[in-house]
Structure 1
């Protein structure tokens, strides 16, 4: 799932962004502020440069992180991710892929209103799993609409029932609307007919065969194919099937 996420993130055009240095520095300051105020670990990732800038709060001591590198040549904070429970890590990647696809389907001006929250089990200094809240926000885009700056925050979850964190949700912070892990609106991106056609494509059926089976014209089938590609932000049928399977649409 992470490989598929890499392909989608890095295939963005990343056209020139005005005042990119200023915006990047502002992003670093935001990340440092979160780490200081919330005692969390904040990771600002520059998807275009494929670099990350890490700010460590006191939770890093609890997790036994070395806190040596504040700038890494990767968008993935692997020292920390290596401590995440494998099941939770795959859930995290899947949700992040869905989040990326969702943001690409909405108006650019509204992207900042969404964030992803995931509950993770992470090994602490003693090797025991503790619960950590992970938040993902995209805080900067290129002029062409490419998602450029991502901010990840790792906070300790308080041991009190009133601070319970859901397993994984996407939330609109402006409206308060919540899309949960199994039922959020990403699953509705494709219509039932489009899912039906994509399922047949997955099984190797050509447009003519699909048209005959479903009683449609070949032009209608081809129009559905193009709509599927556009909605999933892909360029071919093979990639569409991989994305749909990876995100639970098929």
Structure 2
């Protein structure tokens, strides 16, 4: 996988979500359900709004178990990355890198397969006694927009029964459809099976050439260019040229 300096927020932005495709009444129903569950569950539950690129909910258990400020938890949307402030600094950096790597893998998949995974992390976090303890945090898609793109991501954090001394963030990826587990180190971007001509056209699209200009440059018809464009979008599992260029950069097809 090609190494980049892409941030997690930039990966969230790749969803290209539109307000017209999001139903916030669904989130109000979800939030009401999560409030009820927090009264019977000891998990620390949080939700990320990918459209807003921010945390939008955290359960009161973050206050009781981990010592977070109750007012900041209640006003989480205004608090930036406050929810991450008690994570061990070394682990926080590892988590950010892992999340980008896993996002790159997810975005390399066809759209219909991108929401089939749950990422499970184990890392250190400061508890209410000001001691670093290990927690397990499991993340997966809670809600999709009308086009099937991940919009809300839910995380459930629990104190790990294995309080081993480790300075490494552990991570496992679960395929929710077939039950298979993967290690991030074993994940690779699947072959796109693009032909040489399709890659050539993708590179010209990246340079800003229109279909007619590509046709003239390659001495082929506009109709043929458009067929190649449709095929490469289908093979990459993206909806438009901008997404194709982003994915091409992440996979190393484009410089």
Q: Which residue of 2 aligns with 1:235?
A: 245
Change (3 A) 1:114 1:31: farther
Counterpart selection for 1:26 from 16, 24, 29: 29
In 2, the alpha carbon distance for the partners of 1:90 and 1:146 equals 27
Shift of 1:124: 1.9
Unaligned runs of 5+ in 1: 195-216, 246-250
Q: Which residue of 2 aligns with 1:100?
A: 103
Within 1, Cα distance between the matches of 2:26 and 2:79?
17
Q: TM-score, normalised by structure 1?
A: 0.66
Give the match for residue 77 of structure 2. Answer: 73
Structure number with larger C-alpha Rg: 2
Residue 158 (structure 1) aligned to one of 158, 161, 177: 161
Q: Structure 2: which 5+ residue stretches go unaligned? A: 206-231
Give 3-state SS (helix, strand or coil) of 1:126's partner.
coil
Q: Is the 8 A contact 1:50 1:75 kept in 2?
A: no
Question: Normalization by structure 2: what TM-score?
Answer: 0.65
2:50 corresponds in structure 1 to: 47
Residues 1:138 and 1:220: Cα distance change in structure 2 (over 3 Å): closer
Going from structure 1 to structure 2, the CA distance change for 1:220 and 1:90 (only over 3 Å counts) comes to: same
Matches within 5 A, 1:3-22: 4-15=7-18, 16-17=20-21, 20-22=23-25
The answer to whether the 8 Å contact 2:139/2:156 transfers is yes
Which one of the candidate residues 222, 227, 243 is aligned to 2:200?
A: 222
| C-alpha displacement of 1:169 | 1.1
| Correspondence for 2:121 | 118
Q: CA RMSD in A?
A: 3.8
Evaluate the alpha carbon distance shift between residue 25 and residue 218 of structure 1 in structure 2; reply closer, same or farther with a 3 A threshold.
Answer: closer
Contact 2:102/2:184, CA 8 A, preserved across alignment: no
Relative to structure 1, the CA distance from residue 236 to residue 136 in structure 2 (aligned partners, 3 Å threshold; closer, same or farther) is closer
**May I ask how many residue pairs the two structures share in their alignment?**
210
Q: Distance in 2 between matches of 1:28 and 1:222?
A: 47
Shift of 1:145: 3.7
